[in-house]
Amino acid sequence: MRLVFAGTPEVAVPALDALIDSDRHEVVAVVTRPDAPAGRGRKLVASPVAQRAEEAGIEVLKPAKPSDPDFVARLTELAPDCCPVVAYGALLRPGTLEIPKHGWVNLHFSLLPAWRGAAPVQHAVLAGDEVTGASTFLIEQGLDSGPVYGVITEEIRPSDTSGELLTRLSVSGARLLAATMDGIEDGSLHAVPQPAEGVTLAPKITVEDARIEWNHPALRIDRVVRGCAPAPGAWTEFRGERLKVTGPVKLLPESAELAPGEVAMVGKNSVRVGTGSHDVELGEVRPQGKKEMRAADWARGARLEPGERFGLPAGGSEG
């Protein structure tokens, strides 16, 4: 088939590579989001998908909106049989959806109909799911509601961050998307409507969602830290400034000596914080305006006072 691939971030690159390497299909163009500011200089930088396509000598289209007349005209000229999609990041309108013969087929990182939306992997980790996966489905106007071509499953490990889990899914999902293109091409694969039951939503995780509530149980805090890594990053407040908790926390069920949010140095290398259930040990943190560091190194520099708490304004205490 003639394919026009749509995708933007690094997580979409394995799928693009799988389709470029296929001897059954030709990627005639790539659609991606426009160049965006990045780095300290805020210079415009092409998306990872655009960079990979340019390396492969593939035409790159960067419409501000996929409904732009010039883009629609060019897509019509390219006459794709199918448009595979991975994390493109823009809403597709009916006129654009109808151009390819076999439609637009999305690789979504959940077992649909669970976790429809922008952040399925993060929500699976936050919810404590033990298994997730990826699905390929035909895009229609509803939110991730189209009929499904195929699925793969992936275990969520107890230590997984969202970033680690998404990296694995991007590789296994790439194989699924390539196999879906094969099945559509030879007629062996037909999309099946999603069940009406089991629908859950996965909206984008906000910075406020990533704030650690220390009165919650330790298990919940562990999921917030892992689910929000690497972005937007779990955080708390210390002496009036934001402190990111970037590394997974270690659960200490045998210890419940600290009040929720109370932070203390135990020995030379252990920084512990109280929660709504039992204490946790911090891994890595990133103070405001500084680089990531071991929690013990941060605590030594901060010179913790007895009874100090996370989540309180500068000089704050509760009594």
CB 93 within 8 A of CB 66: yes
CB 162 within 8 A of CB 226: yes
Distance CA 144, CA 112 (A): 8
Give the tokens for residue 68.
């732009």
**Burial class of residue 1 in the structure, from the number of CB atoms within 10 Å of its CB (0-12 exposed, 13-18 middle, 19+ buried):** buried
- Distance of CA 93 to CAs 107, 277, 305, Å? 18, 48, 57
16 annotated as ligand-binding: no
243 annotated as ligand-binding: no
Closest listed residue to residue 34, CA positions, set 16, 8, 5, 6: 8
Handedness of CA 281, 286, 288, 290 (dihedral sign): positive
Distance CA 89, CA 49 (A): 12
Give the tokens for residue 277.
């259930």
Closest listed residue to residue 274, CA positions, set 218, 211, 212, 210: 218
Distance CA 210, CA 225 (A): 8
- Distance of CA 207 to CAs 65, 103, 204, 235, 271, Å? 26, 35, 10, 9, 24
270 annotated as ligand-binding: no
169 annotated as ligand-binding: no
β-pairing, 235-238 vs 83-86, is unpaired
Closest listed residue to residue 105, CA positions, set 85, 88, 78: 85
Binding residues for (6S)-5,6,7,8-tetrahydrofolate: 110-113
Binding residues: 110-113
